[in-house]
């Protein structure tokens, strides 16, 4: 029994010494395993208690208990001290950083060209009192065609190489942003002034000026006594602001779209030359949008009385506009992941 008592004392002294020496978390953990672990020294001492008589147990038991409690609390205290020291060191280390080593993050992202051009368009139209409207890209045949005066047998359907959703006979990916005209009329009523930037889809082969997914911007203005003059003035104001040209001229040519009557194509004077360049094909004018006065059928589908209200609508390709403005020669770059292209904007 006396030898056990000596062993307890010896263990305590050694433990105290070891803990004092522990200088990091790992050495502290080794001490815990050596003394308090499942096969540790204190645990083994506890085991040997079993062999003693009741009398002896009464004497040695409390000593062993003390040793165990003492070991646990010394171990915890030392852990806290080490943690504190570590935090202080870390704070000191951070205090002394070398500013000349700082390198700016050169891999910062940039806004996509879509975001840039849509923001510019948004600024111009909202300054003219237009609100932005949106509609679904998965559209019904009704909104994409019928409500726009293009019934199933109409030859104009051929103009729109449609991607149909195979499981639903009357669902498709919208071929233009014009379906949002009728949705906006239904939702907001007249008078109305909205512009609609959005993605559109066509089942066609891609090349430098065509993509199966592209974007359009639709415009719709409805009020009493709206005429072609309002349409021309609006297009002129919009394009002058976008290209930052004061005397931009608008040219109007007759055209046909089932949802407008009369239908027009609007061209604008080339903002980049006076004598003719490759962009305007030496004509001095660039073709941009389809437009016209909203057909009575479309107004009626939107719940608006064509005897009281009239309106104009227009639509153009967003990529085409951006390509003209920034001199981009391939529409596929918009959806490609070429960083050297994307980082320019």
For 178-202, the DSSP string reads THHHHHHHHHH-SSEEEEEEEEEE-
Tokens of residue 98, six digits: 């070398």
**Cα gap 176→202, rounded to integer Å:** 9
Is residue 173 involved in binding ligand DAH (CB under 6 A)?
Answer: no
Place of tokens 């672990």: 37
What is the per-residue burial (b if ≥16 Cβ within 10 Å, else e) of 215-236? bbbbbbbbeeebeeebbbebbb
Q: Does position 172 bind ligand DAH by CB under 6 A?
A: no
Q: Which is nearer to ligand DAH, 201 or 257 (CB)?
A: 257
Give the list of residues 6+ apart from residue 309 with CB closer than 8 angstroms, or none. Answer: 190, 191, 222, 223, 224, 226, 299
Q: By CB under 6 A, tell whether 258 contacts ligand DAH.
A: no
| Residue 299 beta carbon to ligand DAH: minimum distance, rounded to whole angstroms | 13
Q: Which of 145, 309, 314, 334 binds ligand DAH (CB under 6 A)?
A: 314
Shortest Å, Cβ 110 to ligand DAH: 30
Render the burial of 119-134: b for 16+ CB within 10 Å, e for the rest. eebeebbeeeebeebe
292 near ligand DAH (CB under 6 A): yes
Question: Closest CB to ligand DAH among 4 and 150?
Answer: 150
Of 36 and 237, which has the nearer Cβ to ligand DAH? Answer: 237
If one asks whether residue 201 binds ligand DAH (CB under 6 A), the answer comes out as: no
Residue closer to ligand DAH (CB basis): 22 or 231:
231
* Closer residue to ligand DAH (CB): 27 or 140: 140
Q: Is 176 in the site for ligand DAH (CB under 6 A)?
A: yes
Task: Considering the complex, state which of residue 25 and residue 204 has its C-beta at the smaller distance from ligand DAH.
Answer: 204
Give the SS3 label for residue 288. Answer: strand
291 is an interface residue for ligand DAH by CB under 6 A: yes
Report if residue 257 touches ligand DAH, rule: CB under 6 A: yes
Distance CA 115, CA 202 (A): 22
> Considering the rule CB under 6 A, would residue 313 count as an interface residue with ligand DAH?
yes
Least distance CB 198 / ligand DAH (angstroms)? 11
Residue 74 three-state SS: helix
CB 177 within 8 A of CB 183: no
Which residue in 11, 178, 240, 310 binds ligand DAH (CB under 6 A)? 178
- Nearest approach, Cβ of 266 to ligand DAH (angstroms)? 9
Q: Is 218 in the site for ligand DAH (CB under 6 A)?
A: yes
User: Which parts of this chain interact with ligand DAH (CB under 6 A)?
Assistant: 176, 178, 218, 257, 260, 290-292, 313-315
């Amino acid at each position: 029994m006396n030898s056990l008592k000596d062993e307890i004392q010896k263990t305590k002294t050694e433990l105290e010494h070891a803990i004092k020496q522990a200088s990091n978390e790992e050495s502290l953990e080794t001490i815990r395993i050596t003394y308090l672990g499942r096969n540790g020294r204190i645990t083994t001492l506890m085991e040997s208690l079993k062999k003693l008589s009741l009398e002896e147990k009464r004497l040695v038991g409390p000593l062993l208990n003390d040793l165990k409690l003492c070991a646990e609390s010394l171990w915890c205290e030392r852990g806290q001290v080490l943690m504190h020291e570590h935090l202080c060191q870390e704070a000191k280390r951070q205090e002394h950083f070398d500013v000349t080593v700082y390198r700016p993050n050169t891999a910062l992202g940039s806004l996509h060209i879509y975001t840039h051009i849509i923001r510019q368009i948004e600024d111009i139209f909202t300054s003219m009192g237009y609100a932005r409207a949106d509609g679904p890209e998965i559209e019904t045949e009704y909104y994409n065609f019928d409500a726009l005066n293009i019934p199933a047998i109409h030859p104009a359907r051929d103009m729109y190489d449609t991607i149909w959703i195979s499981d639903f006979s009357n669902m498709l990916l919208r071929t233009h942003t014009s379906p949002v005209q009728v949705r906006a009329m239904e939702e907001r009523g007249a008078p109305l002034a909205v512009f609609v930037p959005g993605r559109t889809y066509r089942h066609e082969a891609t090349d430098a000026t065509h993509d199966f997914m592209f974007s359009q911007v639709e415009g719709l203005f409805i009020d009493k006594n709206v005429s072609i003059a309002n349409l021309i003035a609006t297009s002129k104001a919009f394009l002058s602001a976008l290209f930052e040209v004061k005397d931009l001229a608008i040219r109007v040519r007759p055209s046909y779209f089932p949802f407008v009557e009369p239908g027009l194509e609007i061209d604008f004077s080339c903002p980049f030359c006076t004598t003719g360049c490759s962009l305007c094909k030496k004509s001095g004018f660039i073709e941009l949008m389809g437009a016209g006065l909203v057909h009575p059928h479309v107004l009626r589908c939107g719940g608006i009385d064509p005897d009281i209200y009239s309106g104009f609508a227009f639509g153009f390709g967003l990529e085409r506009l951006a390509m003209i403005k920034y001199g981009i020669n391939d529409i596929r770059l918009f959806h490609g992941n070429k960083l050297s292209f994307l980082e320019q904007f």
